[in-house]
Structure 1
Amino acid sequence: MLPNVLLISGQDEWTKITEVIEHIVLPQLEVNGTSFLLRPEAISSPPSQEVVLVVKHQTPVSRKYVVTQMAFLLKGQAVVLVEGKHKVLKALAGILAPKEFQIDLHGKVGNQTPYSEWLTFIVTTFGAIVTQCRLTPQAHYEGNCYLIVHEGLPELLMKGEQPNKVTIMAVLGLLARARPFLPTFWELLPVSFVEMPPAVRQALQFLHNSYNRPLRLSELAKWCHVNHAHLCRLFQQWVGISPLAYLAKLRMSAAWKLLTETKIPPTLVASLVGYSKWSQFSQQFMRTFGMKPTQVRKSVVLEPLKFGDFRDTVPN
């Protein structure tokens, strides 16, 4: 398996994604309809020992919340695996599949790993999750997971078993005009950010881009090209708290926003802000706010907390 590396494209990444939807994907659908979208039932190639999975495609939410999966190959070539079968795709191409199918976008035939760039959409019961990724012979690069909260999206796709051109274009059009719900909190960077050592700036950029993923301190230190002990000392000196405490602040800020402004179940909120275990999320939330996540939903009036209102806590 190739290593997963965070793909940081800057603060305008979502703008670039919407431009791809509007100027590449939608025109392709307009001209060719759904004929360039591969459907799982159309894959007839038998399993082969020469086909190897390079990177496991991770779905950021439980499959029970998934309505439809879409992915568009923007550049390069890809070996797509679906339920043990495979298909070689060349850009521009796409794949559309119901939630029942396990899709892996990154396979290879033989020893050569193909270069590919993907834009993926997971339409869920609460909206959609959008991300982009890139596969090279050296690594798999994955961009931010953008959460779009829109109750109308799943309703569009639930009306029929086979989404047609008009429906798919309507869904993508809504996504292109939407604003991601989970922010990167760039405005919350320390005032002294530009004066900080490169390792601290890189760490902050990494955390703001990927707080909603499961993260390890060793991964953060590797990204900054320093050992974790040195990074912790620098972070404490310049930011005033540890990297893990800063990560907890970002996650808890996002969790509060989701719990107070959406109807997304608390258990799903936990995974959307980077926690793989509910118990860890609930304990951190209780330490930070003095109340359980489920109590937030039951409250009648809640004032959004500011970033500075957090206690200096460290996640498990």
Structure 2
Amino acid sequence: MGRRQVTGASAGVGRATVRLLARRRIAIALLARGRLGLHAAAEEVRAAGSRALPIEVDMADHDQVIDAGRRIEDQLGPIELWINSAFSSVFAPFQQVRPEEFRRATEVTYLGYVHGTRVALSHMTPRDRGTIVQVGSALAYRGIPLQAAYCGAKHAIVGFTESLRCELLHERSKVKVTMVHLPAVNTPQFDWLLSRLPRHAEPVPPIYEPEVAARAVVGAADQPHRREYWVGTSTALTILGNRVAPGLLDRYLARTGYKSQQTGRPADHNRPNNLWYPLDGPRGHDYGARGVFSSRAHGRSPQAWLSRHRVASAVGLLGTAAGVLVWRRK
């Protein structure tokens, strides 16, 4: 029985990933801060026929992550797959984000990945096997306004992971590390992140359901030989566009980035947020995987399939090209 571990497992992409893995009837450790969401996710795992080990942990606290790793090894067995997806952030112009808030968002989103990776490697390296999946973002390559803390952390994760990958190659390690870069996803984050925007925050369209991201994450775990996977055409265009014309994107986002991240509804600045403490949902209801934008979200991404099946895609394109050449000769 494989042992899988998912951070940020109580909601959003992490929750959707847990649901997908649970269908395989394996042992899964779930790490998150929110008790209700965490235990609700564990019940879904058990209902699907898999074994669940929910662990309340703040990924920003290295000692807590170490303890979580020990519990997983003691109660489930060797860790074979570790998926980092936990994060927090602040929606606001940079100068409106307090230093302690920026530090906290960085500690959860960036150092949480560092801590998780360190603990995973401490168990995987002696056995010389295992896979680590870093859930990234198109914003790991292209910063946008109003999300400086999140974009900075995601950029840092890329640099950290690339350095680590080189070291593992130098050591001829069989431990694999891969990244999955996501587009805008319909998760509960827009209802629980700290926001100082005048209107309610929303993802930049096009929006995808978290199940699209989960399929890509699980696919990357199954095929970790690739450095990274891109999910959604918007992710590919963002990353490639930033390589070609970053200055043009600066001006475009300066014009459109504020409006595209806010709905027409006024923000409720008195609502609780999860930057410092977990939110277990109103009246005991956990947030689940999806946010409130399902009416506008895509349930599939052809580009994500192409990213996972490059050989098949290349063969198909070559076949099409050959067919065109034959047709032209007739």
Q: Structure 2 length normalisation: TM-score?
A: 0.24
Which is helix-richer, 1 or 2? 2
Q: Structure 1 length normalisation: TM-score?
A: 0.25
Structure with higher RCO (Cα < 8 A, 6+ apart): 2
Which is strand-richer, 1 or 2? 1
